[in-house]
Amino acid sequence: MEPLMALLKTVSAFAITVLTIILFTPLVVVIFGLRFLGLRKLITWLTYKIAQGWARCIIFVTGCTLKVEGRENIPSSGSVCFVSNHVGLFDIILALAYAGRPFGFIAKKELIYLPFINIWISMLGGLYIDRKNIRKAVKTINHGIEKLQNGWSMLIFPEGTRSKGRGLLPFRSGAVKLATNSLAPIVPIAITGSYDVFEKNYRVHAVQVRMVFCPVINTAEMSSDDRRHHLADQVRSVIEAALNRKSDDSKTY
């Protein structure tokens, strides 16, 4: 009976995810088109709120329990570079649900060919990176730096791939260049448990997931040498410490 229930929950979660993406996409496109009327900030906020509501709906459908810590560490204004470990596909949904502010993210170029998903990534201010083409990758990173300098927020996964329960992986070279070159404040994010939601055996499970928003690292106050040579290690150490720390009495969702 238990395997059958897991299968039914998986089918239901997948169906709801697909249907809501398809149904909300026309609305988001219409709203996004209104930016030409000079309402860019309002349109960005509305697009994000729709995405946030969608993400929380998906979390509810999975039945997962969320332990979220440190949301008070997220600046309420100005650009922010969220830097997170990447456990599984569920990480983006968690960030949309609880970051509390609009952000774009760096996605692998293959996602540009996924119908509807590609529209949402673009509407949210996301960018596509081709890691096999250095020139194009640098161009994408520079675009992200420009967005941060213009007050946008971005999310990056410096491990470069999902860890799939293997623990925190090494950061790729130049992983935090968005924050280094833009001088945007960094909010490290530590996530545990998201791989077990679905990818562990490709069945949806109502597991406990923990998400920690760590204290801000003000890159503008660091020396250029520290930003260039020590920032990535500092961010990784903060995330690693948060992953290893016991959960506090934070709010459960």
**CATH code, domain with 60:** 3.40.1130.10
d(CA 208, CA 69): 14
User: CA-to-CA distance for 183 and 242, rounded, in angstroms?
Assistant: 23
Q: Tell whether 253 is covered by a domain.
A: no
Residue 77 tokens read as 């204004």
Q: What is the pLDDT of residues 85-122, one digit of tens each?
A: 999 889 999 999 999 999 998 888 888 888 888 888 88
Apex 81 CA angle, 41 and 232, nearest 5: 170
Please give the residue that has the higher pLDDT: either 40 or 132: 132
**68 lies in some domain:** yes
Structural domains counted in the chain: 1
Q: Which helix (H) or strand (E) holds 249?
A: none
Angstrom distance (rounded) from CA 33 to CA 89: 29
pLDDT of residue 189: 97
Tell me: pLDDT of 52 over 90: yes
pLDDT of residue 18: 82
Q: Is residue 215's pLDDT more than 90?
A: yes
User: Do 212 and 238 meet the contact criterion of CB atoms below 8 Å apart?
Assistant: no
In the predicted structure, residue 175 carries a pLDDT above the cut 80? no
Confidence check: pLDDT of 249 > 70: no
DSSP string over 75-133: -SSS--EEEE---STHHHHHHHHHS-S--EEEEEGGGGGSTTHHHHHHHTT-EEE-TT-
Question: pTM of the predicted model, to two decimals?
Answer: 0.89
The pLDDT of 118-138, averaged and rounded, is 86
Looking at residue 250, what is its pLDDT? 58
Highest mean pLDDT among 16-25, 155-164, 197-206, 207-216: 207-216
Asked if residue 252 belongs to a domain, the reply is no
Answer yes or no: is pLDDT of 56 > 70. yes
Average pLDDT across the chain, whole number: 86
Q: Is 81 a domain residue?
A: yes
What residues pair up with 69 in beta bridges, in sequence order?
212
CB-side neighbour CA atoms (13 Å) of 96: 26
In this predicted structure, the answer to whether residue 210 has a pLDDT above a threshold of 90 is yes
Residue 224 lies in a domain: yes
Decide if pLDDT at 246 tops 90: no
Residue 49 in domain: yes
Min mean pLDDT across 10-14, 224-228, 234-238 is at 10-14
Whether 207 maps to a domain, the answer reads yes
Q: Which residue range is the domain that position 56 belongs to?
A: 2-247
Length of the chain: 253
> Where on the phi/psi map is residue 70: left (φ > 0), alpha (ψ -120 to 50), or beta?
left
> How distant, in Å, are the alpha carbons of 59, 193, 208, 242 from that of 164?
19, 10, 16, 18
Residue 150 lies in a domain: yes
